[in-house]
């Protein structure tokens, strides 16, 4: 009898599962849509997408081609793996294709963040951000502070075994944090980082706001980050002291045509910190890994930086001319970003029904411009799985039509140069100060985020 009950329960459960899957497929079986599967109601295929990553994409492409439908991160989504179509989508925001980041990311980063706004508002917010982090500002004000912060961060590593993932993670947040709030950076940074890490965790999750979910955790992190930032702003306004940092610039609005509200300032600060946090830390970590595995590239890069130091006194900071001379360094950064694929793709959303690739895409659907496989296209990058920074010494490669490392079109990352400057400065002081060797077996996973789950441990000694 008990066996019959178990069998009955299993049959009912399987029937319900089949019915739910069938219902979701029927719900999205509109004529004109590309082929594909939609998974479960609400959850879609998010679990498979996050856990299997590139394997999920390759499996679906093998079944349905380079343009197929799915349901991920709470949204019906079209996956595009076609280079020409991807370029069209990124360059045609004015034709009904706007940023379509997951609701969890928009909620946690704020409604005024640069990824959420469109049209004239986007131009305004982007202009304000560029006034803080564009090359002229880096050259005249930020590079000196980045240099100072990087020297401090890399001091006292000699003779130690460190987790370079942890160290680059700290560097990628602390230095921009200091650029934004120089006076308060020492007193509130540790508390701020704990809450900011929660915020980052929640941006790639289903928007289910119940205790225990990543989204809830991230949203609580945002609330605490906002509370701390508001406290700093209130103290500054109550003080007569003038602060020479980004937040001071935003609050004073001196000589700027961008007069942001408090809500816009808060989201601007969060965006600046978030946009480079993962890319700078991960690219720096993976550059250390790839260079260790490629002695010839390491030697050439070290020679480039030692030549810079030979032109200077020991305590002289690097300047803009030094940075612009780091040609092989820039090549190493681009090759690291390509091979590790720190950025897998870009999301857009349709604002109206449109035809793409012979299919009709409904209004409000997401389009995931999946650029990962382009990084391994042997026609663009011969021997694509080989770490070969020399390929980037051909300047045309950085600007070719399918290089989406920093986005594309009007959404090209405004912090691109700032991120490259940070990584270049890190490599400069790391290579001219230390040698290193990997300790133990360190596993690297590359999806949905590039990370070493148990850390990437190296033993450091003085150069």
Asked, for residue 26, whether it belongs to a domain, the answer is no
CB 91 within 8 A of CB 44: no
Give the Å distances, CA to CA, from 106 to 180, 204, 254.
22, 10, 29
Asked, for residue 73, whether it belongs to a domain, the answer is no
Total domain count, the chain: 1
> Which tokens hold the place of 455?
């850390």
Kindly calculate the radius of gyration of the chain based on its CA atoms and give it in whole angstroms.
24
Give the Å distances, CA to CA, from 424 to 34, 58, 229, 280, 427.
43, 34, 29, 10, 5
Q: Long-range contacts made by residues 316-322, C-beta under 8 angstroms, separation at least 24? A: 317/143, 317/144, 317/147, 317/148, 318/143, 318/147, 318/425, 318/428, 319/143, 320/138, 320/139, 320/143
Asked, for residue 210, whether it belongs to a domain, the answer is yes
Q: What is the CATH number of the domain that holds 126?
A: 1.10.630.10
**Number of helices followed by number of strands (H, E) in the chain:** 18, 10
Give the Å distances, CA to CA, from 249 to 132, 156, 180, 181, 259.
8, 33, 9, 11, 11
What pLDDT shows up at residue 3?
A: 55
Parent domain of 273 = 115-333+373-394+410-462
Tens-digit pLDDT string for the chain (463 aa): 555 544 544 544 444 444 544 555 566 666 789 999 888 776 788 888 878 778 888 899 999 999 999 988 778 999 998 888 888 888 887 788 887 777 788 888 888 887 777 778 878 888 888 888 999 999 999 999 999 999 999 999 999 999 999 999 999 999 999 999 988 888 899 999 999 999 998 887 778 888 888 889 999 999 999 999 999 999 999 887 778 899 998 888 755 677 888 999 999 999 999 988 889 999 999 999 999 999 999 999 999 999 999 999 988 999 999 999 999 999 999 999 999 988 888 888 898 999 998 899 999 899 998 888 888 889 889 999 999 999 999 877 887 777 777 766 666 777 889 999 999 999 999 999 999 999 988 899 887 788 899 999 999 999 8
DSSP label at residue 325 = T
DSSP label at residue 394 = S
Residue in the block written with tokens 């439908």: 69
Asked, for residue 92, whether it belongs to a domain, the answer is no
> Which tokens hold the place of 164?
């370079």
Asked, for residue 24, whether it belongs to a domain, the answer is no
Asked, for residue 13, whether it belongs to a domain, the answer is no
> Which tokens hold the place of 110?
């704020």
CB 389 within 8 A of CB 399: no
Distance (Å, rounded) from C-alpha 58 to C-alpha 367?
A: 17
Residue in the block written with tokens 């006034």: 131
Asked, for residue 43, whether it belongs to a domain, the answer is no
Asked, for residue 306, whether it belongs to a domain, the answer is yes
Would you say the pTM of this structure is higher than 0.85?
A: yes
What pLDDT shows up at residue 28?
A: 64
């Amino acid at each position: 009898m008990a066996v019959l009950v178990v069998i009955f329960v299993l049959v009912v459960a399987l029937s319900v599962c089949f019915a739910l899957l069938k219902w979701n497929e029927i719900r999205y079986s509109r004529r004109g849509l590309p082929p594909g599967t939609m998974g479960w109601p609400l959850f879609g295929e998010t679990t498979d997408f996050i856990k299997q990553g590139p394997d999920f994409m390759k499996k679906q492409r093998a079944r349905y081609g380079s343009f197929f439908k799915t349901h991920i991160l709470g949204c019906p989504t079209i996956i595009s793996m076609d280079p020409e179509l991807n370029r069209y989508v990124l360059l045609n925001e004015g034709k009904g294709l706007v940023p379509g980041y997951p609701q969890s990311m928009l909620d946690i980063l704020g409604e005024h963040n640069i990824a959420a706004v469109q049209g004239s508002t986007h131009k305004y917010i982007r202009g304000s951000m560029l006034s803080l982090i564009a090359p002229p500002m880096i050259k005249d004000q930020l590079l000196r502070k980045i240099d100072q912060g990087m020297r401090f961060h890399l001091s006292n590593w000699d003779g130690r075994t460190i987790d370079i993932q942890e160290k680059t993670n700290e560097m990628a947040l602390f230095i921009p944090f200091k650029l934004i709030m120089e006076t308060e950076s020492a007193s509130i940074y540790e508390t701020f980082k704990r809450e900011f890490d929660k915020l980052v965790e929640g941006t790639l999750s289903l928007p289910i706001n119940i205790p225990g979910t990543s989204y809830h955790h991230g949203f609580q992190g945002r609330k605490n980050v906002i509370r701390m930032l508001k406290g700093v702003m209130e103290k500054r306004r109550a003080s007569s002291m003038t602060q020479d940092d980004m937040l001071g610039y935003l609050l004073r609005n001196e000589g700027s045509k961008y007069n942001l509200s408090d809500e816009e300032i808060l989201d601007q600060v969060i965006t600046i910190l978030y946009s480079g946090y993962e890319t700078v830390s991960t690219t720096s970590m993976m550059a250390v890994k790839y260079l260790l595995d490629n002695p010839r590239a390491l030697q050439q890069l070290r020679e480039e930086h030692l030549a810079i130091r030979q032109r200077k006194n020991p305590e002289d900071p690097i300047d803009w001319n030094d940075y612009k001379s780091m040609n092989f360094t820039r090549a190493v950064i681009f090759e690291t970003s390509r091979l590790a694929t720190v950025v897998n793709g870009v999301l857009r959303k349709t604002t109206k029904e449109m035809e793409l690739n012979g299919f009709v895409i409904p209004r409000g659907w997401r389009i995931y411009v999946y650029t990962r496989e382009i990084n391994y296209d042997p026609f663009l990058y011969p021997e694509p799985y080989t770490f070969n920074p020399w390929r980037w010494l051909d300047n045309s490669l950085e600007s070719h039509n399918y290089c989406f490392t920093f986005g594309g079109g009007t959404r090209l990352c405004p912090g691109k140069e700032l991120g490259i400057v940070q990584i270049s400065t890190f490599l400069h002081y790391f290579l001219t100060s230390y040698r290193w060797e990997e300790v133990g077996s360190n596993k690297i996973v590359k999806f949905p985020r590039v990370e070493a789950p148990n850390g990437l441990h190296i033993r450091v000694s003085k150069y």
